[in-house]
Structure 1
Amino acid sequence: MGSRRQRLAISLAFIVLACILIPFQTLVHSDQHQEEGPLVYYIPVEQTVERGLAAFMDRAIQMAMEEGADHIILEINTPGGAVDAAGDIAKLIQETTIPITAFVNTDAISAGAYIALNADEIVMVSSASMGSAAVIDGSGNAAEDKMQSYWLSRMKAAAELNDRDPQYALAMADARIDLPELGAGSGDLLTLTADQALEVGYAEAVVSDRAGLLEYLGLENAIERHMEVSFAEQIARFVTNPIVIPILLSIGSLGLVLELYSPGFGIPGIMGISALLLFFFGHMVAGFAGFESMILFIIGFVLILVEIFVPGFGIFGLLGVGAIIGGMLLASYSTASMLMYIAIALVVTAVAAIFIFRYFGHRGFMRKMILTDSTSSEKGYITNETRKELIGKQGESLTPLRPSGSAVFESDRLDVVSEGGYIERGRKIEVVYTAGSRIVVREVKENKLEEE
């Protein structure tokens, strides 16, 4: 059993090392083009806008610049996402010297509309839409006024960046702006169809497909490169999602708590370590975590293993948890957000642990975590025998009782204790109480033995 646990620990250590090395390998390789003609890079902007997408776009734009791309096309199809991630992507677009066209081939909603507005040109397919960019909080309600004001200023600046009328960008984010001619009445956010966007100057062209897009851009003979999100980056995008982070941390902390209360290393520990590995792996690929956060995580991981295999009154476990939390804070893009995620995970862990131990403590795998056995005479366990038959018997003290000493009762020599007073050697005594090996006596004063 011990060797099996050691092999399991070694395997987990190799997984940790792999997670350190994999993110620094080349994720996607693209050969240098030797054909003649302008080079066009297609970069997908799909699914939720989050930090992982920003990291992918940074890598993709850098690769396009290194290969001397003549044009970058952002293929946008997103329902929106995080404001901070959208801001990072907008900054990448603005700092890029290569012409960038936002190709809205389905939807550019919320943060997607903001990203599109930062591009040099916007081209849409006929069935596409763009808009509905109100900022909301984590519970789905309208964000506070301060954040709303900030987001409105960002939308306005993005529209003015390419000489577009800012009132339409503001109407996308503020339901109080009334534009009934475009279907945005009082209380409605503006969402533009492709034709409406073309009409108000929020799209330079409406095309049917990529070929039509290249024809509009005058790049019919272009060499096309298609950037793809690698498997590692897909994991990073999933793991860095603000909804997924507290879930992973909750699973990780709950698994470690259950493991600390169970013998050896088993399913809870594997579950917890795997969740934390996913967290750090995703944040390393996304570019948020460096070697220092991984070193802290490894130190914490080793300390928790020491606590599991060499119990140390919880000291190693607490130090390990502290090191892992420190690594999380270093790996985060926002310390305040990470502290909130950790707080959520701790609350979830405490509630789940109490529920599990209370209602499942004697069932399934939890039976291995809680001691349910007991000692009894039926199982062969024998405690000190209480000799109740001695109560009332009289004998003689063989030694002074101060208050303990020895006495003889008939032929039995026993260790006894007085009720509290001093009894001289050779005095007649009587047993008044017994409990286990404890025999309490008192002196029989009216019948003293004759001294020799």
Structure 2
Amino acid sequence: MNRSAIVGVILLTFTLFFPVCLFSQSAKVYVFDLHDEIGPPSWRQTKKAFDHAKELDASTIIIRMNTFGGLVDYADSIRSTILNSSMKTIVFIDNNAASAGALISIACDKIYMKPGASIGAASVVDTKGTVLPEKYQSYMRGLMRATAEAKGRNPRIAEAFVDPDVEIKGVNSKGKVLTLTSKEAIKVGFCAGEVTSVDQIFAAEGLDPQQRVDHQVSVIDHIIVFLISPVVSGFLILLIIGGIYFEMQTPGIGFALLVSVVAAALFFAPLYLEGLAAHWEIGLFLVGLVLLMLEVFVIPGFGVAGILGIICIVGGLALSMVMNDFFDFNVTGSEQLTTAVLIVLFSMVASIVICVILGKSIMKTPVFRRLVLEDEQRSDLGYVSGKQPDDILRKEGFAKTDMRPSGKIEIEGLWYDAIALDGYLEKGTRIYVEKQENYNVFVRKLL
């Protein structure tokens, strides 16, 4: 072999193998799971996974999926993330990809399925499984059709996942929503092949197992998932309202307000991190609190400010629990908003009922008494409201401050915190004590 032939072989070998070696060194393959219901946690996990994969300069991202569906708005957000990604996207359907899971799956470049797995049944239903009105189905059909077209798949098959009236010869019969098995999906070109594990996808796609990076779910992620569950959110709302109620009913107590503030932080923080609670929704809640405080302590009677305050509080809490773009709910729909409002209202009512029923016994417990700031004012000034007031029932005195309706009164040279049952009373108004309940003194105007 002459010198030129040897040089040619060397150059050819270098040309063929050097890019492969270079590629294998940088071609990270990122793997993460989408299990359970599609919702805020899965959307947040998807965002983190794609961001991390991008930081690692991964060439491929594999989604291991097993879900019966979930919320369409979050599925749409995940779908958009996949479609807009420059990385190659592969989904491994490990048993089920129903409803929202089907939408996410057909957004990927390739679909692999486990033998016996299924994909489809993407009609939009409520929490009870009842099919929602046509406007929801129409939106979902459009999403499925557009996603299939974007990935070169048959849009009619994608539409048949949603609409039972779509009939495809040799695939399904009219009147039934389409669901495909793994073998059926391969036959119609929706599935690249059957595999039993992600490792087999690596082999089928020629990916280097040494470059595999598995997504790690942090402790913080688990805590956030726990805190945004409806049951926990409802309990936190109960603590928020209960703390405010105790603080307003029992002067001098700081612990109740602290409980309310901590509960509010635990309620809003995870929802904010999940992209649900926006700044304006948290602001709406705070405005509601301010209006309610003004109504109770500044403005006489109970009117517009108090009603607006309650509406703002309910609105801020409920809107933070559902995805919306400044009252644009898109496919979130009225049902999810209604559910959120009901959770808030039920928690508020339950909180007030519990406070009224248990308030008397709670305030008499030794633990609670240690939390009461009984010496908030100096006794040499005649102020004794920080402790259980003396028996002053039916005694007369006068308003030491304006009462809106709460304020301070003076009876026999001693000051007390009191609440005017007549509403607003001006400073200096003659009063008498009509009743006493625990730490509360209730007075009426002396006629």
Same fold (TM over 0.5): yes
* Corresponding position of 2:405: none
Match of 1:66 among 51, 55, 63: 55
1:53 CA displacement = 2.1
Matched, 1:192 2:184: no
1:263-342 counterparts in 2 under 5 A? 263=250, 272-289=260-277, 312=297, 333-334=323-324, 335-336=326-327, 340=338
* Corresponding position of 1:208: 196
* Corresponding position of 1:224: 212
| C-alpha spacing 1:199/1:271, structure 2 compared with 1 (3 Å) | farther
* Corresponding position of 1:395: none
Match of 2:130 among 134, 141, 158: 141
Q: Is the 8 A contact 2:39 2:75 kept in 1?
A: yes
Q: Is the 8 A contact 1:50 1:240 kept in 2?
A: no
Q: Is the 8 A contact 2:148 2:155 kept in 1?
A: yes
* Corresponding position of 1:365: 362
* Corresponding position of 1:110: 99
Amino acid at match of 1:202: F
1:222 CA displacement = 4.2
Amino acid at match of 1:365: I
Matched, 1:352 2:341: no
Matched, 1:56 2:54: no
Deviation per CA, 1:273-306, whole angstroms, max 9, x where unpaired?
45432321212322445677778878989x79x9
Amino acid at match of 2:133: E
1:200 CA displacement = 1.4
1:140 CA displacement = 3.6
Q: Specify the structure having the higher radius of gyration (Cα).
A: 1
* Corresponding position of 2:87: 98
Q: Which consecutive unaligned segments of at least 5 residues does structure 2 have?
A: 1-22, 330-335, 369-389, 396-447
Match of 2:158 among 165, 169, 175: 169
1:135 CA displacement = 0.5
Instruction: Name the CA distance, whole Å, in 1 between partners of 2:188 and 2:60.
Output: 25
Identity %: 26
Amino acid at match of 1:115: I
Instruction: Name the CA distance, whole Å, in 2 between partners of 1:150 and 1:295.
Output: 32
- TM-score w.r.t. the length of structure 2 is 0.61
Amino acid at match of 2:181: T
Q: Is the 8 A contact 2:31 2:214 kept in 1?
A: yes
Q: Is the 8 A contact 1:252 1:274 kept in 2?
A: no
1:88 CA displacement = 0.9
| C-alpha spacing 1:350/1:225, structure 2 compared with 1 (3 Å) | closer
Q: Is the 8 A contact 2:148 2:154 kept in 1?
A: yes
Q: Is the 8 A contact 1:103 1:122 kept in 2?
A: yes
Deviation per CA, 1:95-143, whole angstroms, max 9, x where unpaired?
1111111111231111011000000110111132211111023554222
1:36 CA displacement = 3.1
Q: Is the 8 A contact 2:30 2:60 kept in 1?
A: yes
Q: Is the 8 A contact 1:175 1:187 kept in 2?
A: yes
* Corresponding position of 1:247: 234
- TM-score w.r.t. the length of structure 1 is 0.61
| C-alpha spacing 1:150/1:291, structure 2 compared with 1 (3 Å) | closer
* Corresponding position of 1:417: none
**The residue matched to 2:25 in structure 1 has which SS?**
coil
1:248 CA displacement = 5.2
Matched, 1:259 2:256: no
| C-alpha spacing 1:211/1:343, structure 2 compared with 1 (3 Å) | closer
**The residue matched to 1:215 in structure 2 has which SS?**
helix
Instruction: Name the CA distance, whole Å, in 2 between partners of 1:210 and 1:248.
Output: 40
Instruction: Name the CA distance, whole Å, in 1 between partners of 2:154 and 2:214.
Output: 32
**The residue matched to 1:173 in structure 2 has which SS?**
coil
Q: Is the 8 A contact 1:132 1:189 kept in 2?
A: yes
Amino acid at match of 2:234: I
1:166 CA displacement = 2.2
Instruction: Name the CA distance, whole Å, in 2 between partners of 1:131 and 1:233.
Output: 29
Match of 2:113 among 119, 124, 141: 124
Instruction: Name the CA distance, whole Å, in 2 between partners of 1:382 and 1:191.
Output: 75
1:364 CA displacement = 4.8
1:233 CA displacement = 2.6
Matched, 1:154 2:152: no
Amino acid at match of 2:87: I
Instruction: Name the CA distance, whole Å, in 2 between partners of 1:79 and 1:223.
Output: 31
Instruction: Name the CA distance, whole Å, in 1 between partners of 2:394 and 2:222.
Output: 63
Instruction: Name the CA distance, whole Å, in 1 between partners of 2:391 and 2:353.
Output: 35
Q: Is the 8 A contact 2:63 2:91 kept in 1?
A: yes
Instruction: Name the CA distance, whole Å, in 1 between partners of 2:80 and 2:277.
Output: 21
1:260 CA displacement = 3.9
Match of 2:222 among 216, 227, 234: 234
Instruction: Name the CA distance, whole Å, in 2 between partners of 1:297 and 1:354.
Output: 18
**The residue matched to 2:105 in structure 1 has which SS?**
helix
Amino acid at match of 2:184: Q
| C-alpha spacing 1:322/1:173, structure 2 compared with 1 (3 Å) | closer
Instruction: Name the CA distance, whole Å, in 2 between partners of 1:382 and 1:235.
Output: 51
Aligned-residue RMSD, C-alpha: 4.4
| C-alpha spacing 1:268/1:152, structure 2 compared with 1 (3 Å) | farther
**Structure 1, 259-268 or 209-218: larger mean CA deviation:** 259-268
Instruction: Name the CA distance, whole Å, in 1 between partners of 2:351 and 2:26.
Output: 63
Q: Is the 8 A contact 2:26 2:58 kept in 1?
A: no
Instruction: Name the CA distance, whole Å, in 2 between partners of 1:66 and 1:297.
Output: 37
1:83 CA displacement = 1.0
Match of 2:64 among 62, 75, 78: 75
**The residue matched to 1:49 in structure 2 has which SS?**
coil
